[in-house]
A and B are shown apart, each in its own frame.
Chain A
Amino acid sequence: MIEKLNKLFESRVRLGIMAVLAVNEWVDHVQLKELLGVTDGNLASHLTALEEAKYVQVRKRFVGKRPNTSYKATAAGARAFRAHLDAIEQLLPRP
């Protein structure tokens, strides 16, 4: 049962990112940082890991004169997140 848990989601931050992206379209860096309560550097490294796994899609653009980076879950990322949640549920003791 345990092996079904996604290794990439062992980090609470990474799982948190996927949870937010599962229910929102594009979420920018600042919003993620505030929702998860983590530092910029910490968030960036986790996002890079998710990006490399092709679980999140990155969009960089300018809002006015400020650079703005937003993230979105890819189809594969959303699937992996749901599978991970199912696996967690399997771990729950049956009532």
Chain B
Amino acid sequence: MSQHPAHEELARIRGLMDRSTRFLSLSGLSGVIAGAVALGGAGLAQYHMNASPGPASDVLTYGTGQGYTTADELLLTLIADAVVVLFAALLGAFWFTWRRSRRTEQRLWDASAQRLMVNMLVPLSVGGIFCLALFYYGLPGLVAPATLVFYGLALFNASKYTLDEIRWLGLSELVLGLVALFWLEAGLLFWALGFGVLHIFYGSLMYLRHERGTRSSEA
């Protein structure tokens, strides 16, 4: 398709402005792998909760409020599960994005990546500490909605510095998180939807829109 030279020039300028401010190497496959890992983790958590002898009727504490006896072990199992999921998801996400950055020849750790990380990490760290406090006060039932809300805020904030889909992912996480706050019994289900299904959905969308076939079209 032949274009007016002024069109090409404007497109080149727009591309430069985008590439210098946004981290565009973020791979959709990172989201897909993180989502798959999260679903696996959520399944495992559900299994442990079903197998646990403690009464799970008290949704705010998952039954852990009663003197921290048998349920204590369940809580530790769940935390260990969450930590493994987090690291597996981060590792997978990092690998796909690293692979893509080599393909797009954008440096993985350039100014745009740093901006993205800072804008992501500030709300996320606050959320992490907030969730630790929830555990500390024996309210693990609130952790699932809280992680969704803080993750949504982090994504929404960082979306200025990366692909546009991240903004929508952030908004979706926020909506899910807020609904989950008023539906604590279904906390794990919402968590699985937010960190599993949404990641896979938006990750696939990003992959189809930005990556499929880029090897041939990118000069």
Which A residues are closer than 8 A to B by beta carbons?
Answer: 12, 15-16, 19-20, 22-24, 27, 31, 34-36, 85, 88-89, 91-93
Contacts and interface: CB of A to CB of B under 8 A. Distances in A.
B6 A91 contact: yes
Contacts of B16: 16, 19-20, 35-36
Interface string B101-129: 00000010011000000000000000000
Given A19-B16, A36-B16, A93-B4, A24 B21 contact: yes
Nearest to B14: A19
17 contacts: A12-B12, A15-B9, A16-B13, A19-B17, A20-B17, A20-B20, A23-B17, A23-B20, A23-B21, A24-B20, A24-B21, A24-B111, A27-B20, A31-B111, A34-B107, A88-B10, A91-B6
Contacts of A27: 20, 111
B19 interface: yes
Interface string B1-26: 00010110110110011011100000
Interface size class of B (residues with CB under 8 A): 10 to 19
Nearest to A37: B105
A15 B13 contact: yes
A35 B20 contact: yes
B110 A34 contact: yes
A92 B6 contact: yes
Contacts of A85: 10, 13
Nearest to B115: A24
A22 B110 contact: no
A-B residue pairs, 6 tightest by C-beta:
A19-B16, A20-B20, A19-B13, A91-B6, A23-B17, A23-B21
Main SS at interface, chain A = helix
A88 B14 CA distance: 13
A35 B20 CA distance: 7
A89 B20 contact: no
B20 A88 contact: no
Contacts of A15: 9, 13
B70 to A, nearest CB: 55
Contacts of A16: 12-13, 16
Nearest to A26: B111
B12 to A, nearest CB: 8
B187 to A, nearest CB: 41
B171 to A, nearest CB: 24
Given A89-B10, A92-B6, 14 more contacts: A15-B13, A19-B13, A19-B20, A23-B17, A24-B21, A27-B111, A31-B20, A34-B110, A35-B16, A85-B13, A88-B9, A88-B10, A91-B4, A92-B10
